[in-house]
Amino acid sequence: MTYCVGIDVATFKKGEGLDLAAIPEPDEVDAAWCLRFLRAIRDVAFATIDADGLPSVRVIDVMAVTDERLYFLAPRGKAFHDDVMREQFVALVGQTSDYRTCRLRGRIAHPEGEAVQHALVDALFEMNPSMNLLYSGENRYICDVFYIEEGKGEYFDLGQNPVFRKPFALGGEPEVRGTFFITDACIECETCVAACPEQCIASGSPYKIEQSHCLRCGICQEACPVQAIVKR
Ligand code: SF4
Ligand code: SF4
């Protein structure tokens, strides 16, 4: 059954079934895979800015995903609903028990129209039958449906040695923040290579940090004798 343009339960079901125990190949990790990973974790931390301008966080279910969108619900009485309606932006992060994390922050869409909202609620309740225990019968329609379809995120496997990380984007280019780079001021002294706990700095002119294996700890920056390492 189609619930609104382009979205039906069959589409949502394609986002199911990712095996959380399986370590992905680097090429496998893209936006669609990361959304499926978050759906498999399911209970993830959602952060917003509250009415006082302060950070607020709570655990919310990822109710369904497609290749490009992540869907969640917010009952209209909750402060979380107020926050997302006001800010139109959310950040979320989920982690497995073996220290693999996926985070995403992005703009929220709120499909308009009661019929569309009700149809989406029906679809998401079909995907997540346990929701009926909380919101039985017509009570389900106190929930509003939101989705993220424009945002930036990163998959981060802290359990590997060296660590592995890969940015992704829902629309546009992946975001690169808080990364360390070696500039032309490098005198090739090798101090950073010896100091790096992840062995992810390669010699060259200048030396180069392998970003996908960098912990972003900053040890190399503090060790460099000529301040050749910068954070961007
Ligand atoms: S930030 Fe840490 S992990 Fe990354 S290159 Fe520097 S020392 Fe290595
Ligand atoms: S410690 Fe600084 S100068 Fe030495 S190799 Fe590393 S980046 Fe270059």
Please state the rounded mean pLDDT for residues 11-26.
Answer: 93
Distance 186 CA to ligand 2 centre (A): 5
Distance 195 CA to ligand 1 centre (A): 8
Please state the rounded mean pLDDT for residues 203-210.
Answer: 92
Question: Among the ranges 1-10, 130-139, 175-184, which has the highest mean pLDDT value?
Answer: 130-139
Set out the domains of the chain in order of their start, with CATH numbers. Answer: 2-170 (2.30.110.10), 180-231 (3.30.70.20)
Q: Which pLDDT value is given to residue 6? A: 52
Tell me the average pLDDT of the chain: 93
Distance 200 CA to ligand 2 centre (A): 13
Q: Which pLDDT value is given to residue 96? A: 97
Query: For 114-220, where are the E strands, in sequence order?
Result: 143-157, 164-170, 180-182, 201-202, 208-209
Q: Check pLDDT > 60 for residue 195.
A: yes
Query: For 50-183, where are the E strands, in sequence order?
Result: 55-61, 64-65, 70-75, 89-95, 100-109, 143-157, 164-170, 180-182
Per-residue confidence band for 5, with pLDDT thresholds at 50, 70 and 90: low
Pocket test of ligand 1: the residue of 220, 224, 227 to mutate, having most ligand atoms within 8 Å of its CB, is 220
Per-residue confidence band for 209, with pLDDT thresholds at 50, 70 and 90: very high
- Cβ of 224 below 6 Å from ligand 1: no
- Cβ of 63 below 6 Å from ligand 1: no
Q: Check pLDDT > 50 for residue 3.
A: no
Q: Check pLDDT > 70 for residue 197.
A: yes
